[in-house]
């Protein structure tokens, strides 16, 4: 079990790698499951400033969503479930 926890934490850190975020008028925080959707949102010019992992059930924790909103580069944030 400890190995699974360490593996999860390591993957989470890799997923959280961020690029420089430029302040904007409106930030978009998206919830997505799977690397394919995450990569699409990052590269498709959809204006997504942060991506929260939805997991298999698309049930992100409130803590994860709150962190994404609080660290968004704007006071105005749209939450989007993809």
Tens of pLDDT along 19-49? 555 566 899 999 988 888 888 888 888 888 8
How distant, in Å, are the alpha carbons of 17, 24, 52, 71, 77 from that of 14?
Answer: 6, 25, 13, 18, 24
Domain containing 51: what range? Answer: 2-81
Structural domains of the chain, count: 1
Residue 69 banded pLDDT, cuts 50, 70, 90: very high
Predicted confidence at residue 52, as pLDDT, reads 92
Mean pLDDT of the residues in the chain:
79
């Amino acid at each position: 079990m400890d190995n699974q926890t360490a593996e999860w934490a390591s993957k989470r850190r890799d997923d959280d790698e961020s690029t420089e975020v430029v302040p904007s008028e409106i930030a978009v925080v998206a919830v997505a499951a799977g690397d394919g959707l995450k990569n699409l949102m990052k590269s498709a010019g959809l204006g997504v400033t942060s991506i929260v992992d939805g997991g298999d059930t698309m049930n992100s924790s409130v803590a994860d969503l709150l962190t994404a909103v609080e660290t968004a580069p704007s006071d105005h944030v749209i939450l989007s479930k993809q």
